[in-house]
Amino acid sequence: MDLATGAMGSLLPKLLQLLNDEYKLQKGVKEGVRSLEEEMRSMQAVLQVVGEVPRDQLDVQVKLWAGEVRELSFKMEDVVDKFLVHVDDGSEPAAKSNKLKRLTKKMAGLFTKGKDRHEIANAINDINNQVKVIAERRARYNLDNIVIRPAAVTINPLLQALYTEMTELVGVDGKRDQLLMELLLNKDDVSNKKLKIVSVVGFGGLGKTTLVKTVYDKIKGDFDCKAFVSVGRKADPKKVLMDILLDLDVGGSQLTLLDETQLVRKLREYLERKRYLIVIDDIWDAKLWTVINYAFPKGNNAGSRLITTTRIVDVSKLCCSSTNDSVYQMEPLSDDDSKRLFHKRIFSQENGCPREFEEVSADILKKCGGVPLAIITIASVLASDQKVNSHDEWKALLESIGRGLTEDPSVEEMLRILSFSYYDLPCHLKTCLLYLSMFREDSEIMKHQLIWMWIAESFIQCKTEKSGLFQIGETYFNELVNRSLLQPVYDHCGIVHACRVHDSVLDLICLLSREENFVSVFNGSMPSRENVRRLSLQKFIKEEYPTTPLESVSMQQVRSIVTFEPAIDMMPRFSSFVVLRVLNLSRCWFDKDNLGELWSLVHLRYLNLSHTGLDELPEEVGKLQFLQVLDVSGNPDIEELPLSVTKLRRLMCLLYDERCNRLPDGIGNLTAMEELSYIHADSLSIVKEMGNMKRMRKFKIKFEHLSLELEEAFVKSLGEMYNLQSVTLRMYGGRYKMMDLLGEKWAPLKVFGN
């Protein structure tokens, strides 16, 4: 699923779910659902192709058609969700309830569900009619064959990197090329006649191509033969091999008659016993390297060198599989180098910055994050028409960076270069990356929060029972880090626990999100779309608005809302949301008198009320039957959880403050639970009930008085948790030999005693 396919990825499984006998749909309605599912799956296949094409290469009719399908998929999923919520509320009557009351409730439910089935029958019929119209339009315009239109003439970014003045992107004073040359020409390798491979890896725009070209030009005279070829996305191995041979002046026109195997053999034969220097620039695909790697002789080559560049960490590691090889991690420019490059570009000399521009200059460079491409691009905007722009223009540009609002040809070109990384992503990762535009610039985004929000939005689909949703989400997160699109943040143990988004990448995803109505950001100006799907409230100056600015914006279709403290005053009433799935109010202090409306948001999957000053979690929380994540941590005044929490059978993550020292009986009903903290194991029954949480991955538990009986029950419950990854134990009143009971199987446990 991505921005082109809308809600298609999560909708199709739900349409299949409707066909189950438990929902008792009439035969005609089932046929309508089946027909709908088949047609939407066909449309999804076309949309996935659309999603791989840069927006400026799409025919206008394709854009319009894709937009219609996207909006229809959202509308359709809202209809299905409303039906599923009303028909399947997840509740079970208590065993000791009065029989007459239970019978009355059951009969009332039958009438209500009958009405719901009638309503969905009408809705399915209406949507089928709309789908037919859209399908006919697709056939009439023959959209399957006009996905791509000729692209506007643009500068190839690799050529731009190769022929730009080298000092502009490499690092001003040549420190980077010196380091790379030392790595390539290490004295310890002089006696080693084997091939040495160095892979340069880093974020788009760091100047990898320019750095390698600079070093290549300096050392190429020391080799018998040399070649420099640029690869790019979706490269063909045969073409890459041909380009290398052509650059070596081998083969000529007859190369086109050879297949991959013959080209590999020809290249090996030519390079055998030669000292060669070859650069393969901008590799994206690990499979490509697996093929072309066979073409390079590894021994008896008198110190040959092969250099690769890539944005993807795993590709660089694959290139450097031998102990003789090295990965060169391209780092951003230092603050001093960034300043010299920026000032030289604008003021024609490194130290020529006027005093009145120093502060705003420093703020702009902070946003550029040491990326040479960003520095030069922004500098070019500020020194347009051979003159330095005014101080006010500098401030205006500063405000726009990181919000996707800069409209300048130079900046557009930079974003286009960065967009190559985006369009190389598979569909599901595009969606997950775009979701990060919900967060403010420079935010430290907690990894576990982000993954749970992805899950609540149904961005993650579990196709097998072997992997849980969270584990799949972790692979998504790691792949975005691997592709240099997220900047990892490490905790004190060296584990990635959060991420940041570089301002240049944030510019790109904000731009894409805004164009496709993926996320609407309120940052002092009104959202431009009426049908808001996801809302990020970031900034609000109350004095500038006579009334709450969002009162005129419909919240009927909002699926996610993230609010930051500066904008909490403009938070709409909870009752205005109809299909809300994600509500993140973390670290916001709001009017608790309006909290009652919150518990009617029956579609909620993710609710974050951490650090909000909440002093009580009411019984009404039990109404949120579809809730998957409940985070009320950082609220020390919440001393106990209500009994109704045990009704939330879909709950996978429950986080609360350590001072909350009472759990209700029946906690074992939460069989979907994967993450839980803090458990005060003050009773044997609670410890035994933990054994029902077989999917548990991670939890924290505190023992105040640990008896032998409690120990044994705890170890038995641990044995039922087949997916357990980590446990944090906190014990008071003496130490116990817990590890002896747990055995080697539980070695990863963290034990804290005090």
Tell me, letter by letter, the H, E, C secondary structure of 320-355.
CCCCCCEEEECCCCCHHHHHHHHHHHHHCCCCCCCH
For 407, the 3-state DSSP assignment is: coil
In a domain, 563, yes or no: no
Q: What is the pLDDT of residues 299-326, one digit of tens each?
A: 766 789 999 999 999 999 999 988 889 9
User: pLDDT value at position 242?
Assistant: 92
pLDDT band, residue 619 (cuts 50/70/90):
very high
User: pLDDT value at position 642?
Assistant: 93
User: pLDDT value at position 113?
Assistant: 54
User: pLDDT value at position 511?
Assistant: 86
In a domain, 384, yes or no: yes
128 shares a domain with 18: yes
User: pLDDT value at position 137?
Assistant: 74
235 shares a domain with 115: no
User: pLDDT value at position 73?
Assistant: 87
Q: What is the pLDDT of residues 154-206, one digit of tens each?
A: 445 554 544 454 455 555 456 677 778 888 876 555 456 788 999 999 888 88
In whole angstroms, give the CA distance from residue 724 to residue 536: 34
If one compares 585 and 571, the residue with the highest pLDDT of the two is 585
User: pLDDT value at position 153?
Assistant: 41
In whole angstroms, give the CA distance from residue 313 to residue 315: 5
285 shares a domain with 270: yes
Q: Which of 506, 522, 541 is the last residue before a domain boundary?
A: 506
In a domain, 724, yes or no: yes
Q: What is the pLDDT of residues 262-299, one digit of tens each?
A: 999 999 999 988 899 999 999 998 999 999 999 998 87
Q: Would the pLDDT of 693 be above 70? A: yes
Q: What is the pLDDT of residues 628-675, one digit of tens each?
A: 999 999 999 998 999 999 999 999 999 998 888 778 889 999 999 999
311 shares a domain with 191: yes
Residue 397 near residue 406, CB atoms below 8 Å: yes
User: Which of 357-361, 565-569, 576-580: highest mean pLDDT?
Assistant: 576-580
CATH of the domain at 426: 1.10.10
If one compares 648 and 21, the residue with the highest pLDDT of the two is 648
198 token code pair: 């160095």
339 shares a domain with 324: no
User: Quick count: other Cβ atoms within 10 Å of Cβ 470?
Assistant: 23
User: pLDDT value at position 104?
Assistant: 40
Whose CA is closest to 400, among 548, 474, 506, 328?
506
If one compares 389 and 603, the residue with the highest pLDDT of the two is 603
105 token code pair: 């409730």
Whose CA is closest to 694, among 533, 468, 541, 519?
468
| Mean pLDDT, rounded, for 247-253 | 84
In a domain, 711, yes or no: yes
Whose CA is closest to 378, among 408, 349, 352, 422?
408
Q: Which of 91, 113, 145 is the last residue before a domain boundary?
A: 145
368 shares a domain with 287: no
Q: Would the pLDDT of 58 be above 80? A: no
In whole angstroms, give the CA distance from residue 506 to residue 486: 10
User: pLDDT value at position 237?
Assistant: 92
User: pLDDT value at position 614?
Assistant: 92
104 shares a domain with 25: yes
User: pLDDT value at position 592?
Assistant: 75
Out of 242-256, 303-317, 422-436, 453-467, pick the least confident.
Answer: 453-467
In whole angstroms, give the CA distance from residue 146 to residue 133: 19
Q: Would the pLDDT of 3 be above 70? A: no
194 shares a domain with 68: no
342 shares a domain with 251: no
In a domain, 31, yes or no: yes
In a domain, 607, yes or no: no
User: pLDDT value at position 747?
Assistant: 44
Q: Which of 311, 329, 347 is the last residue before a domain boundary?
A: 329
Out of 30-44, 169-183, 323-337, 460-474, pick the least confident.
Answer: 169-183
Q: What is the pLDDT of residues 385-439, one digit of tens each?
A: 556 678 888 888 787 776 655 555 556 667 777 787 888 888 889 999 999 999 9
Q: What is the pLDDT of residues 107-123, one digit of tens each?
A: 344 334 556 667 777 88
Beta strand 520-523 with 305-310 is unpaired
CATH of the domain at 347: 1.10.8
pLDDT band, residue 526 (cuts 50/70/90):
low
210 shares a domain with 282: yes
If one compares 186 and 498, the residue with the highest pLDDT of the two is 498
Q: Would the pLDDT of 216 be above 80? A: yes
Calculate what percentage of the chain has a pLDDT beyond 70. 80
CATH of the domain at 164: 3.40.50.300
The mean pLDDT of the chain is 80
Residue 467's Cβ-count burial label (10 Å; 0-12, 13-18, 19+) is: middle
Residue with tokens 């030289």: 344
In a domain, 540, yes or no: no
Out of 165-174, 354-363, 479-488, 729-738, pick the least confident.
Answer: 165-174
pLDDT band, residue 152 (cuts 50/70/90):
very low
Calculate what percentage of the chain has a pLDDT beyond 90. 30
Residue 392's Cβ-count burial label (10 Å; 0-12, 13-18, 19+) is: exposed
User: pLDDT value at position 605?
Assistant: 97
Q: What is the pLDDT of residues 332-348, one digit of tens each?
A: 888 888 888 888 878 76
| Mean pLDDT, rounded, for 733-737 | 47
312 shares a domain with 258: yes
In a domain, 356, yes or no: yes
User: pLDDT value at position 656?
Assistant: 92
**How many domains is the chain built from?**
5
113 shares a domain with 92: yes
| Long-range contacts of the stretch 84-88 (C-beta < 8 A, 24+) | 84/14, 84/17, 85/602, 85/603, 85/625, 85/626, 86/112, 86/113, 86/116, 87/23, 87/113, 87/116, 87/117
Full-model pTM: 0.79
If one compares 465 and 428, the residue with the highest pLDDT of the two is 428
pLDDT band, residue 37 (cuts 50/70/90):
confident
Domain carrying residue 213: 157-329
User: pLDDT value at position 350?
Assistant: 59
For 109, the 3-state DSSP assignment is: helix
